[in-house]
Structure 1
């Protein structure tokens, strides 16, 4: 009976992994129509995605700590209920500023789910099957990414952008009902000390970076970005001095497998994930594709990810996980190199090559890297590891979106993309070059980890042989 219940819980969580990425990729397709209806600038449209990712990233680590000390299941259900309500609410909003505000609240509830979902699964799955299960989770995430452009494109074209949020609410409501029914709801009081000040600092820092990047064409944008960096530095400085830090830097430094996988994940998502956002606007505002046709093109990469992620998860249980992540980063670099060839007349062939290459890169990277993260810590730290893995993924997305928003602010200011398509092409070229640099760092980290791991393994084998003699 318990085994059946555990399997059902796992599948409920896998189902919910679909929702958040669907809202990211689906919203990206709706943005041009939303911008025209609500008279929003390109920078404001970027904020619709940035505040969502930023708030979820900022709160992932605090939520992971709280979940380990209280109840993962209760926090997961709170997040799911709040996320569903926000999704429906956005469909009713009259202007771009309230959309940005509710998207920020939705990002907060997303942090509840992301910090706990993988941790609940990791607690219920044997370690030798973790890669396969993570593959299903990653597959669900990429299924959401793939369904987003396709479904949202069709719905936006025929029913309008608001209908995307209304239809998304339906599976969220079903998932909420199932989660409330099957997941336990026992809450235990938090006994350990919690770093509330550190949590506040990380939220303030990310908020300053996001809004600073959006207002860089004004005089105060640079000041906000500088303040965000200073607050972030203060956060890290305080963490090393606290007895109960939000982020145990010493423990992370000691666990090299864990820390390297997290840092590699940060740079991978910073350098690759924003490409879909840029291409969605490019197809509709520069190439004048309809929302439906743009969705049909963008869906190819996530479909490949959804198919390949479970397969790569199985392979990660049998082969070298680090070699697979290195190959994945390399594929993403190739995709960006192809993206630099785009102009306002580019054909479908190069677009499809870019999207499929990136899709394969993410599939090769994501499942093995998350398996490394979760298998590097004891069960008592699963929520924290899950939160850190999701946080690095989200922080990478936020960093990518901050870069996009910053460069868009410099080249376009308050102009719309429809009014300045050539400036938007400059935004894309500049951003892609910076993304290649970030992925080069990720590739270097991944390859270095392979070499370090081989040296450590050889040293351990030599030591064992010496002790045996």
Structure 2
């Protein structure tokens, strides 16, 4: 049992760490045109500044979640925060596009360690009656990072240059490390549970092949990468069935419909939403001529609403079935995408803000209840795996979102630098991407609706 003070400190530490990554992602959206100009990057290569982080994070989140269950969540959490700070520093001093992409990969490694442990730490401390509220607060902190990112990123980029958005991460990460060392004394570990290294390698090959293949579509090499990833997936599932202590308990997916559908719904949710900030930022700055600071203020609408709604939705999911709230959220998200599809090319800024507000409402209603459903549907021994899976689904969804965008850009625009000559193609690409995401959103509504309930499991805890 934890005292209220210990719970508050733990929640503060997890929230601070959870702030860093989304802040970097959202501030980076505003800074991407400036980064592209600095290094002369085309649209596809510029997308890799974001994709590199997501690809590495997706591959390592689940293995780090399992390692945290075995060797200690506190240890993995601290190392991850330090790595994220190192990656941020390298990104700030980058002298080429290749270097900043490598720095983003290091950030991805650190981010995988942080996000695969933070939710597990909170879940084991807070009982079911308090868990939704705690998860809602952490989710709100994530959205606070998303909210402040465009504003701070736009201001810092305009006043001090894009490297400054990475420098801010370093002192914040150090604060998290110091607080964790000083105040987080409890450690949960299961040294008797061995690590499935073979499964981790096959899992990494599966995700790397499929996710990288998606990002290089429609090139012929994409078929080879995706085919290799599918083959790796087949070997991974065969391997896991034979392991006494597998990386993933496949039986959890077969017998726990809530866990399966909630994770799939999470992946779809992030797939339809993540590229929105990237697309709206490019549209406003390139085709409408807005400066980074103004663009950041407009993009603030979505995460600001998410920050307000998320803790309320999380708290509500402690008493109301999470599936109901999350499904309503997915529906609102899809409606918001439809509004943006219509108004982004030539509509007024007020209509764009309306679309972003609806999108933020849906996102906030979905995320906390959905995460609560996932974390409440497994036993305590699998919390690290579940936390890693939540983060993996988020990152895979984000990567799918960017892969869709990059694929459409490759087909419609090609590998040329974004200039006024291709602004019309940029608008065409954006509309196509939104249509694809709306279709996925409809699928997400169905997946969220059929997940089942988690109340019976919670009553047993």
* CA distance in 1: counterparts of 2:38 and 2:218, whole angstroms: 24
Residue pair 1:339, 1:354 contacting (<8 A) in 2 also: yes
Q: What's the CA shift string for 1:423-455, capped at 9, x where partnerless? A: 222221221122112111111112223xx559x
Alpha-carbon separation, structure 2, partners of 1:303 and 1:378: 34
- The answer (yes or no) to whether the contact 1:135–1:310 under 8 Å persists in 2 is yes
Residues 26-35 or 437-446, more deviating: 437-446
- The answer for the alignment partner of 2:52 in structure 1 is 51
Distance 2:211 2:258 in 1: 30
> After the TM superposition, which of the residue ranges 110-119 and 433-442 deviates more from structure 2?
433-442
1:9 matched to which residue of 2? 10
Q: After alignment, is 271-280 or 297-306 more displaced? A: 271-280
- The normalised TM-score by structure 1 is 0.91
Residue matched to 1:400: 401
Residue 234 of structure 1 deviates from its aligned partner by 3.4
CA 1:422 to 1:14, structure 2 compared with 1: closer, same or farther past 3 Å? Answer: same
In the TM superposition, residue 67 of structure 1 has moved relative to its aligned partner by 0.8
Distance 1:183 1:251 in 2: 30
Does the aligned pair in 2 maintain the 1:83–1:106 contact within 8 Å? yes
Partner of 1:309: helix, strand, or coil? helix
Deviates more, 1:68-77 or 1:251-260: 251-260
The alpha-carbon deviation at position 19 of structure 1 amounts to: 0.6
Per the alignment, residue 175 of structure 2 pairs with: 174
1:119 aligns with 2:100: no
Q: How does 1:366-377 map to 2 (within 5 A)?
A: 366-377=367-378
Residues 217-268 of structure 1 deviation map (CA, whole Å, 9 limit, x = unaligned) = 6543443233333333433343334333212111222122222211111111
- Secondary structure of the 1:319 match is coil
For 1:3 and 1:365, how far apart are their aligned partners in 2? Answer: 28
- Report what 1:462 is aligned to: none
Distance 1:223 1:120 in 2: 39
Bigger shift: 341-350 or 154-163?
341-350
Rounded Cα–Cα distance in structure 2 between residues aligned with 1:185 and 1:45: 42
What's the counterpart of residue 314 of structure 2? 313
Unaligned runs of 5+ in 2: 457-461
Contact 1:74 1:184 (8 Å CA) reproduced: no
Q: What's 2:379 paired with?
A: 378
How big is each residue's C-alpha offset from its partner over 1:381-406, in whole Å with a ceiling of 9 and x where there is no partner? 22221111111111111111122122
Count of matched residue pairs: 454
Paired with 1:370 and 1:220, the residues of 2 have a C-alpha distance of 36
Secondary structure of the structure 2 residue equivalent to 1:420? helix
Residues 440/230 of structure 1: CA separation in 2 closer, same or farther (3 Å cut): farther
- Cα 1:231/1:409, change in 2 over 3 Å: farther
1:322 aligns with 2:323: yes
Structure 1 residues 342, 236: closer, same or farther in 2, change over 3 A?
farther
More displaced, 234-243 or 24-33?
A: 234-243
Deviations 1:170-193 (A, max 9, x none): 222222221222223879684333
Partner of 1:428: 430
Q: 1:25 — aligned with what?
A: 26
Q: CA deviation at 1:157?
A: 1.1
Match of 1:466 in 2: none
Could you tell me how far apart the structure 1 residues matched to 2:228 and 2:27 are? 32
Asked if the contact 1:155–1:163 (Cα under 8 Å) also holds between the matched residues in 2, the reply is yes
Displacement of 1:359 in angstroms is 0.2
The 3 A distance-change label for structure 1 pair 217 and 379 is: closer
SS in 2 for 1:340: helix
Give the structure 1 partner of residue 271 of structure 2: 270
Provide closer, same or farther for how the CA distance between residues 248 and 399 of structure 1 changes in structure 2, counting only shifts above 3 A: same
**Structure 1 unaligned residues grouped into runs of 5+:** 458-469
Q: Aligned equivalents of 1:243 and 1:404: distance in 2?
A: 40
Aligned to 1:234: 235
Partner of 1:145: 146
The 1:77/1:343 distance shift into structure 2, 3 A limit, reads closer
Instruction: Give the stretch that moved more between structures: 435-444 or 251-260.
Output: 251-260
- Shift of the 202–409 alpha-carbon distance from structure 1 to 2, 3 Å rule, reads farther
Could you tell me which residue of structure 1 aligns to residue 246 of structure 2? Answer: 245
1:89 alignment counterpart? 90
For residues 42-81 of structure 1, the aligned pairs below 5 Å read 42-81=43-82
Q: How does 1:444-455 map to 2 (within 5 A)?
A: 444-449=446-451, 452-453=452-453
Mean Cα displacement is larger for which, 258-267 or 412-421? 412-421
Does structure 1 conserve the Cα–Cα contact (< 8 Å) formed by 2:310 and 2:368? yes
| 1:100 correspondence with 2:101 | yes
SS of residue paired to 1:184: coil
CA distance in 2, matches of 1:240, 1:287: 54
Partner Cα separation in structure 1 for residue 256 and residue 223 of structure 2: 36
Tell whether the 8 Å contact from 2:51 to 2:399 is kept in structure 1 after alignment: yes
8 Å CA contact retained: 1:55, 1:203:
no
Give the TM-score taking structure 2 as reference length: 0.93
* Alignment check: 8 A CA contact 1:53 1:394 kept: yes
* Cα separation, 1, equivalents of 2:453 and 2:11: 32
Distance 2:161 2:199 in 1: 42
